[in-house]
Each structure stands twice: as C-alpha cells, then as structure tokens.
Amino acid sequence: MDASSSFDTIVIGAGIMGSCAAYYLSKLSQKALLLERFDLLHPLGSSHGHSRTTRTTYPESFYPPLVSLARSLFLDAQSEAGYTVLTPTPHLDMGPVSDLSFKSCIDNSSSTEHVLLGKESLKDKFSGAFDMPEDDGWVALETPLGGVLHPTKSVAMFQSLAARHGVVVRDRTEVISIKKEAASGPVKVLTASGEVFYAKKVIITAGAWTRKLIGSVGGIELPIEPVHNLICYWKIREGLEEELAAAGGFPTFASYGDPYIYGTPCMEYPNLIKIAMHGGIPCDPDRRDWQVGSRAAASANEPDANALVGPVAQWVSKFMPSHVDASNGPVMTQGCMYSMTPDGDFIIDFLGGEFGKDVLVAGGFSGHGFKMGPAVGKILAELAVRGEAEVPDGVDMGMFSIVRFQSNPGGNVKEHAAQVSLHKT
Ligand SMILES: Cc1cc2nc3c(=O)[nH]c(=O)nc-3n(C[C@H](O)[C@H](O)[C@H](O)COP(=O)(O)OP(=O)(O)OC[C@H]3O[C@@H](n4cnc5c(N)ncnc54)[C@H](O)[C@@H]3O)c2cc1C
C-alpha cells in the first residue's frame, strides 16, 4: 500500500453531499479522496441544473435547524470562493389548513418571522400572480428565508474549495467493491478499472445508486427507491416577466395538496418560470426512460404517460392563469432523480455489519436534500473523524438512522401524509 493510494477518508460520489463532505474533511485536515463514476458535474444524478429551492418551512421540526446551519455554511463557502450560489428571496407556502402537512408547517413557523395571507392580500402582495382558491380554507404562509441555490455551481464550488485544501478529486472512477480484509485494518476500495485505494474511513454518497452499491458490496438492503422526475419551464405572459423575477422580490413557492407543486422565480432563462411537481416514477438509474411522464398517451392503457406534466399544467392554469401560459405545455423539461425513503427522511448513519463504524452512508435525500448539503457534509466529516457530530439543537440523528426501518419498514411515524407523489407504472 503506497502513500498515493492510502487516505484518511474516501468519499464515493461527487454530488452535493459527497462534494460537501470532502470539503469539510479538508477543513478537519484529513487526507481525503473524492471519487465520481461519471464526469464531474454530470447531469445523470440529482445535483445538476440551475435552481433548487431553499426554505425554512417544514412539516417536520427537525429540518429547519439543519436548513439554517446549511444556509450559513453556504454563505461562508461563497465568501471563501469569491462568488455567489444563493439568491435570497422570500418563500411562500400555500394550502388548505385542513392539510396536516401544511398545518404542521404553519405551526413550526409560529415562533419565527412569518405572515399569513388570504386570497386578496396574496394578490396584492405579488402583483396578482397567484389566484389561490377561496374555498376549503386556503391560506398562504410567507416567510423571509427562501431562496434559489444554483446546484451545479454549488457542487463545483465545494469541489474546487476541497481541491484547494488538498482533497484529491477523481472523476470517471466507478467504485465496484468496498471491503474490510481484517477487522482492525483499513477499508479497501476497488474501482472498475482495477485501481485499489485504502482508507481508515469511507463515506458513501452515491445518490440514486446507493442501494445498488451497498447491496452489491455489503449485502445490506437499504430502502432507497430511485425515482425519475422532471423539472418544467413555462412561458410567462408577455410584459409580466419582471413581476415574476427574483430581483423584483418574487418568492420561491410551494402549493400543498396532491400533487405538491413547487416553483422558483424567473431567473435562469429569460421569460420562463420553473414550476414542477414533487413526485415521479420509480426507475432503474442505469436504464432510464427519459420521456416517461412527459409524453402524450398512445392509448387508454397508459394513464401515467403524461403524469409529470399534466398535473403541473392544470395547477398553472388554475393558480397562475394571468401570468403563466400553460396552454401549449412546458417550453422545456429536464430529467432528474429523487432517492426516496419510505418516510421521506434522510439516511445518515454508520453502515454497521462487517464495516462497523468505518463506513458511513448518506442517502435517501427524497427530493429535498440540496438545501441542507453543507450541513450534511459537515456532519459526515465529523462522524468520520470523531465518531460523533455537532448537530444543531432540535435535530435528533435517530430520525436519520438505518435501524428505524427495522422496527417499522415505513420508517419514522408521521401524522401527516407523504408530500411526494409516486406513480407506479
Ligand atoms: C428535479 C429535482 C428537484 C429538486 N429540488 C430540490 C429543491 O428545490 N430543494 C432541495 O433542497 N432539494 C431538491 N432536490 C433534491 C436534491 O437535489 C437532492 O437531494 C440532492 O441533489 C442529492 O444529492 P446526492 O449527492 O445525494 O446525490 P447525487 O447528486 O446523485 O450524487 C451522487 C453521485 O454519486 C455518484 N456515484 C454513484 N455510484 C457511484 C460509484 N459506484 N462510484 C463512484 N461514484 C458513484 C453518482 O454518479 C453521483 O454523481 C431536487 C431533486 C430533483 C431531482
């Protein structure tokens, strides 16, 4: 084992989680290696594209403290890098108060700055852009700490900061095996091209490939389901572009219900706004059908053919008819993947089994992890180096444990329904 193949910690997977973990390992003076199977910043996983929402509103009380920590870490990293990845905006949640998830969000926001808006005050506030229903007790919750994160630029920022601090970053290097040859020895990592690396600790952040990788090397089955989904961009009606722009104070937003719809202000493409549904269609990450969910049904036997676009078009026509034109469908779509756990909560834990506390896994970010990337990366680095992590008040790491699925296959028990809609074809 020579010095060039031997590390304190190896991180497998260079999406937002792995790239942040590598950066915080470097801040702890670790000799670290970050391995990625595809090109750096590729569009095949979950961390690519131009926008991710950040918000402090959550039905679960343990996420907002992680979002706040991550926000301050994004700002610190921006200062170190010398450019920005976060565009702050207000955030708006809309829904019927009878929806338990939305009600829980309102309850969790009660001790922080927030405003509740009815139909008319919502229209006045955002230039008439939102036409919220009046019946069924719909209200809107406006909070100050929303914003748009640029995902590809954020990942690149953490990778380049990590490299600047000495992390070795290697792409086109697929890990095919992780082994412990002796209980007290290092972890051996084998790549598809036959290279071998050794480390005291390994962190697996393989996104939608996590279950496959861990199943093949450790025989441990984690309940993480890869789900194909789509981001849709819609045409803003002529002359109204500035009213939906982040620069003019337009918020990131979400609409509770089935499906849960979310959107970001007009930023990345002139005259287009991103509005999509929080849901998707289970997939094999290595054999994806890039069009599923966005094509016209060829027959009545294909009820889900347009499952990821049709419900969004309906929502746009109902909630933003004066500002956004959904009549011809989205102008542009982009595929992405969620890694769903049964309860929608993350997995951040030691793998156990023969690996004990030498291998950590962070996966199952269930379509809402990006905003917490730096907080997760910092926690992973501390867990790898010290065996324990400093977590913000209000965060119980037990909510992210693997063992929660042993006592209940559904994971954490919640009063409210799942927010992500899964279409099983
Ligand atoms: C359409 C969409 C919208 C979203 N919107 C939001 C949002 O608004 N706000 C929010 O907070 N979150 C959002 N998310 C979720 C967020 O983007 C993800 O939770 C996050 O990007 C997951 O990052 P990751 O690092 O776990 O996975 P990934 O980014 O997929 O990274 C995993 C990496 O591991 C690599 N890898 C896999 N196997 C191997 C191997 N064997 N060897 C080496 N490398 C390997 C992969 O190639 C990949 O690069 C959204 C996700 C999607 C898809």
Same domain, 264 and 279: yes
What residue's CA is closest to ligand 1, atom 37?
Answer: 206
The total of other beta-carbon atoms located within 10 Å of residue 392's CB is: 15
The per-residue pLDDT for 3 is 81
| Residue of 12, 19, 37, 46 with the most ligand 1 atoms within 8 Å of its CB, for mutation | 46
**Residue 107 φ then ψ, to 5°:** -60, -45
- Residue 304 pLDDT greater than 70, yes or no: no
User: Do 13 and 189 form a contact (C-beta atoms < 8 A)?
Assistant: no
Residue 388: CATH number of its domain: 3.50.50.60
- Residue 200 pLDDT greater than 60, yes or no: yes
With a Cβ cut-off of 6 Å, ligand 1 is lined by 12-18, 35-38, 45-47, 52-53, 174-175, 205-209, 213, 229, 231, 336-338, 365, 367-371
Distance 16 CA to ligand 1 centre (A): 7
- pLDDT tier at 422, thresholds 50, 70, 90: confident
Question: First and final CA of the chain: distance in angstroms?
Answer: 48
The CB-side HSE value for 219 (13 A sphere, CA atoms) comes to 4
Please give the number of the atom of ligand 1 that sits closest to the Cα of 336. 53
How many independent structural domains does the chain possess? 2
Instruction: Note whether residue 258 is domain-resident.
Output: yes
Residue that terminates a domain, selected from 303, 325, 340: 340
Tokens of 63: 């996420």
Same domain, 320 and 231: yes
Instruction: Note whether residue 73 is domain-resident.
Output: no
The per-residue pLDDT for 299 is 52
Torsion sign, CA atoms 261, 266, 271, 272: negative
- Angle at CA of residue 338, ends 378 and 375, nearest 5°: 10
Same domain, 240 and 136: yes
What residue's CA is closest to ligand 1, atom 31?
Answer: 15
- Residue 302 pLDDT greater than 90, yes or no: no
Same domain, 161 and 241: no
Determine which of 12-26, 76-90, 129-143, 299-313 has the lowest per-residue pLDDT on average: 299-313
Residue 236: CATH number of its domain: 3.30.9.10
Please give the number of the atom of ligand 1 that sits closest to the Cα of 363. 26
Same domain, 177 and 304: no
> Where do the H-state alpha helices sit in 14-90?
16-27, 63-81
Q: How far is CA 363 from the centre of its chain?
A: 10
What residue's CA is closest to ligand 1, atom 5?
Answer: 52
- pLDDT tier at 300, thresholds 50, 70, 90: low
Please give the number of the atom of ligand 1 that sits closest to the Cα of 276. 1
Tokens of 15: 């999406």
The per-residue pLDDT for 424 is 60
- Residue 423 pLDDT greater than 80, yes or no: no
The per-residue pLDDT for 220 is 87
- Residue 303 pLDDT greater than 80, yes or no: no
Phi-psi region of 398 (alpha: psi -120 to 50; beta: other; left: phi over 0): alpha
What residue's CA is closest to ligand 1, atom 50?
Answer: 367
The per-residue pLDDT for 368 is 97
What residue's CA is closest to ligand 1, atom 20?
Answer: 370
The per-residue pLDDT for 181 is 86
- Residue 297 pLDDT greater than 70, yes or no: no
Same domain, 132 and 246: yes
Mean pLDDT of the chain: 94
Strands 187-191 and 196-204: antiparallel
Q: How far is the C-alpha of 268 from the C-alpha of 219, rounded, in Å?
A: 43
Residue that terminates a domain, selected from 309, 325, 340: 340
Distance 285 CA to ligand 1 centre (A): 12
User: What average pLDDT score do residues 128-150 get?
Assistant: 95
| DSSP H or E segment with residue 375 | helix 373-386
Q: How far is the C-alpha of 375 from the C-alpha of 397, rounded, in Å?
A: 13
Secondary structure letter of residue 258 according to DSSP: S
- pLDDT tier at 293, thresholds 50, 70, 90: confident
Distance 423 CA to ligand 1 centre (A): 20
Q: Is 39 exposed, middle or buried (0-12, 13-18, 19+ CB in 10 A)?
A: exposed
The per-residue pLDDT for 35 is 98
Distance 218 CA to ligand 1 centre (A): 22
Domain boundaries, position 188: 3-47+152-224+342-418
- Residue 425 pLDDT greater than 80, yes or no: no
25: CB partners within 8 A, 6+ apart: 8, 9, 11, 32, 162, 167, 381, 384, 385
Same domain, 94 and 142: yes
- Residue 298 pLDDT greater than 90, yes or no: no
- Residue 2 pLDDT greater than 90, yes or no: no
Distance 112 CA to ligand 1 centre (A): 30
The per-residue pLDDT for 218 is 78
Instruction: Note whether residue 104 is domain-resident.
Output: yes
Q: How far is CA 319 from the centre of its chain?
A: 25
Same domain, 166 and 230: no
What residue's CA is closest to ligand 1, atom 19?
Answer: 369
| Residue of 39, 41, 47, 286 with the most ligand 1 atoms within 8 Å of its CB, for mutation | 47
- Residue 254 pLDDT greater than 90, yes or no: yes
User: What average pLDDT score do residues 340-354 get?
Assistant: 96
- pLDDT tier at 402, thresholds 50, 70, 90: very high
- Residue 399 pLDDT greater than 60, yes or no: yes
Same domain, 328 and 349: no
Residue that terminates a domain, selected from 308, 340, 372: 340
The per-residue pLDDT for 292 is 81
- Residue 134 pLDDT greater than 90, yes or no: no
pLDDT digits (tens, 9 = 90+) for 213-250: 999 887 889 999 999 999 999 999 999 999 999 999 99
pLDDT digits (tens, 9 = 90+) for 256-286: 988 999 999 999 999 999 999 999 999 999 9
